[in-house]
Amino acid sequence: MSLVITNLSKTFDGVPALDRVSLVLNDGVIYGLFGRNGAGKSTLMAAIANRIVPSGGSITLDGANALDNERAQERIYLVNETLPFLMAHSLNGFFRDEERFYGGFDWALAARMLAAFDIDPVAKYGSLSLGSRMIARLIAALCVPVDVLLLDEPVLGLDAVNRELFYRFLLEAYAERPRTIVISTHIIDEIAHVIEHAIILEEGQVFDDFAVDRVARRAAELTGPADVVEEYAAGRWMPVMQRHSLGAMVELTVRGEVDAADLPEGVTARPLGLQEYCVRLTSSYAQASAEWSRRDGIEV
Ligand SMILES: Nc1ncnc2c1ncn2[C@@H]1O[C@H](COP(=O)(O)OP(=O)(O)OP(=O)(O)O)[C@@H](O)[C@H]1O
């Protein structure tokens, strides 16, 4: 399976929500899709699942146009905040509908998940709490035999215990049958152990795209005497993402890999975690430094 997105754009009333997004989503990889509010994450997922019509660009699944193509869309499943027609359905009825449309359903996994989350399968969807409604839809998502699963803020409304439980089931279902999964969330630390690859959107464009196990090489926080740290970062053309002055000392977050053996005396380097990196990259400091690096043609 290969899902290729090329120059995908979407404007709403002339305002771009997606601006020439190009990405390749590979078989059996779990992606995290991150970015600030309004960055374009939901629009991107809705476009892949054919829920909105793009203004330009293309999406192909194994080489065939994925848009307006029922055979391709049967292989793609989106969970997002909209699905109002479900209110009068029982969960079992909803699962049967999904089984008919997607050509299969893992009833054993659904039964185990319903029991673990303590949800009655004959309950009407509309009678469930907000969190339980989302869980019901996530159960359906893990039980249909699709190749591409798009989960737009899947844990919104779930308490911490249920969030952890859901990610455990997701990994179990994935281990049983690997598939491509894209998860967008603002609680990034919670899925750092779940995802393999991160995609960061900013103002409708792909801002960064990297393997999660390499995040420590993308940025570091340098601490030490201000003049020494600033000279070190400038000498290596490292774009500055964030600066905190502490008297004569400075804490400088820079993009790029720091070699500990190469650090001047008195300077320490701390690699950033995934959430720290995403937050600092998409902060206004980051935008300024990215602009600076683009102007000077620096690849980081
Ligand atoms: N139906 C719509 N009509 C008009 N503008 C829209 C519509 N849907 C999205 N937008 C706009 O498109 C941009 C991207 O929105 P989108 O919901 O994709 O962002 P997001 O990254 O998912 O944000 P969040 O993290 O807040 O959910 C925003 O400026 C939003 O206001």
Predicted pLDDT at 81: 85
* pLDDT attached to residue 86: 78
Tell which one of 9, 12, 200 to mutate to probe ligand 1, the residue whose CB is within 8 A of the most ligand atoms: 12
Helix then strand then coil, in percent of the chain rounded to 5, is: 40, 30, 30
Q: Is residue 246 scored above 80 in pLDDT?
A: yes
Predicted local distance difference test score (pLDDT) of residue 164: 96
pTM metric for this prediction: 0.92
For residues 269 and 142, give the distance between their C-alpha atoms in angstroms, rounded to a whole number. Answer: 41
CB-CB contact of 222 with 246 (8 Å):
no
Residue 300 clears pLDDT 50, i.e. is over it: no
For the cut 90, the answer to whether the pLDDT of residue 76 exceeds it is: yes
151-168: per-residue pLDDT in tens? 999 999 999 999 999 999
Please indicate whether residue 82, judged by its CB atom, sits closer than 6 Å to ligand 1. Answer: no
Please report, for residues 237, 248, 277, the alpha-carbon distance to residue 224 in angstroms, rounded to integers and kept in the order given.
18, 9, 20
Does 43 sit in the ligand 1 pocket, CB within 6 Å?
yes
Distance between CA atoms of residues 183 and 292, nearest Å: 30
> Measured in angstroms, how far is the CA atom of residue 216 from the centroid of ligand 1?
30
pLDDT of residue 296: 60
Contact predicate 30/214, CB 8 Å: no
Write the pLDDT tens digit of every residue in 177-189. Answer: 999 999 999 999 9
Q: Is there a contact between 192 and 224 (Cβ–Cβ < 8 Å)? A: no
Q: What is the token pair recorded at 170?
A: 């997701």
pLDDT tens-digit series, residues 277-296: 999 988 854 556 555 566 66
Average the pLDDT over 247-255 and give the result.
Answer: 94
48 has pLDDT over 60: yes
- pLDDT above 70 covers a percentage of the chain that reads 93
End-to-end Cα distance, the chain = 30
Q: Which atom of ligand 1 is nearest to the CA of 186?
A: 25
Phi, psi of 90 (to 5 degrees): -80, 160
Q: Residue 285 has what pLDDT?
A: 46
Task: Indicate whether 261 pLDDT > 50.
Answer: yes
Q: How confident is the model at residue 40 (pLDDT cuts 50, 70, 90)?
A: very high
How many CA atoms lie within 13 Å of 191's alpha carbon, on the beta-carbon side? Answer: 28
Query: Looking at ligand 1, which atom is closest to the CA of residue 46?
Result: 18
Question: Does 282 sit in the ligand 1 pocket, CB within 6 Å?
Answer: no
CA distance linking residue 121 with residue 257, whole number of Å:
51
Task: Please give the domain boundaries of the chain with CATH numbers for all domains.
Answer: 2-213 (3.40.50.300), 215-296 (3.30.70)
Whether the CA torsion 205, 206, 208, 212 is positive or negative: it is positive
Mind giving me the DSSP string for 135-158? HHHHHHHHHS--SEEEEESTTTT-
Q: How far is the CA of 40 from the centre of ligand 1 (A)?
A: 6
**Band of pLDDT at residue 111, cut at 50, 70 and 90:** very high
Beta-ladder partners of 251: 223, 244
**Over residues 76-100, mean pLDDT:** 88
Share of residues in the chain with pLDDT > 90 (%): 86
Position in ligand 1 atom list of the atom nearest CA 35: 21
Three-state SS for 91-130 is HHHHHHHHHHHHCCCCHHHHHHHHHHCCCCCCCEHHHCCH
Mean pLDDT over each residue of the chain, to the nearest integer: 93
The answer to whether residue 298 scores a pLDDT higher than 60 is: no
Q: What is the pLDDT of residue 202?
A: 93
**Averaged pLDDT, 190-216:** 95
Determine if ligand 1 sits within 6 Å of the CB of residue 37.
yes
Does residue 39's CB lie within 6 angstroms of at least one atom of ligand 1? yes
Q: What ranges in 189-299 are assigned the alpha helix state H?
A: 226-235, 274-282, 284-295
